[in-house]
Every structure is written in C-alpha cells, then in structure tokens.
Amino acid sequence: MGLFDKVLGKDKGDGPITLDKNEAFAAVAVAAMASDGAISDEELQRAAMNLAAMSAFRDRGLRDMGATLNKVAGILKKRGAGTVMPAAKAALSKEQCEQAFFLAADLLLADGVVEKEERQFLEELRLALAVDEPMALKIVEVVVIKNRS
C-alpha cells in the first residue's frame, strides 16, 4: 500500500484481489493514466489502442475491453494502486510484467511530458512488478525513441 493509500484510507480490506491476465494489464494502464490525478480522453483512446494491439486482448471485443477497464478502474478507486499492483504482478509472468511496464511507460511518455507524480508511479510500478533496473532503463529508452517526433 502506497503512502497516499494509507493516508487516504483507500484499501478497505475487502479481502485479496485476484486479477486475470487481461485485468492485470488493464489495471496497469488505468493506474498509469490516473497517476497524475486525471485521465484525459486522449489517454483513454491511447490505452485502448495499446491494449487492443496486445495478444492478450486480440480476441476480445471493444465491449469486453470496456467492461474490463471499468472493472479495474472501480477496484483501483476503491483499493488504490498500491494494493492492486501486487495483484497484477501475481497474474503476470516475468515477461508479461515487463510488457506491462512498457505499456505504462508508453502511456506516460506519449505526450513528451512526465510529471513528478508520473515518474514516481513508474518507479513504484517497476518495484511492484519486479522489473529489474537495467531492463526498466532499456524499456524507457525504447519508449522515448518510439515517441520522438
């Protein structure tokens, strides 16, 4: 549980959180978008496109993806990212944790501006998903190159 989650009492202690692979990716995306305090329409569209391109979501329709995003948004709102991210890690393999970290970094770096809260979120996510620092650095470097223009 993150510092703000403790202070704000986010985790209601409603038992363990269990996510499937798709919910875990969606939770990372929603938490990343919300890390600066607001989710824009552009961020939602970018997240939907990024998720739709992932093999985990290719066989899912837009309605199903929307339901998954709404479900994890509700869990995040009620329990806080500090409680949900360990559940996301538990649902993902090591390689999928790296993919989820890439997804978050891509969402946060797409606009070319990374706020202090977003940087802090990305570091906390790296730790929560157990992405080692050299791999995280490679991922961020690739995302920066990808989003140049």
Give pLDDT tens digits for 50-74: 888 888 788 877 788 888 888 999 9
pLDDT of residue 12: 59
Q: 112-129: per-residue pLDDT in tens?
A: 778 888 899 999 999 999
Please give the torsion angle defined by the CA atoms of residues 43, 48, 50 and 51, in that order, rounded to the nearest 10 degrees: 140
pTM of the model: 0.86
User: What are the distances in angstroms from CA 7 to CA 4, 14, 34, 91, 121?
Assistant: 5, 18, 18, 27, 17
User: What are the distances in angstroms from CA 120 to CA 13, 23, 98, 123, 127?
Assistant: 24, 22, 17, 5, 11
Write down all domains in the chain, each with its CATH number in brackets.
Answer: 17-146 (1.10.3680.10)
pLDDT of residue 9: 44
Low-confidence ranges of the chain (pLDDT < 50): 1, 3-9
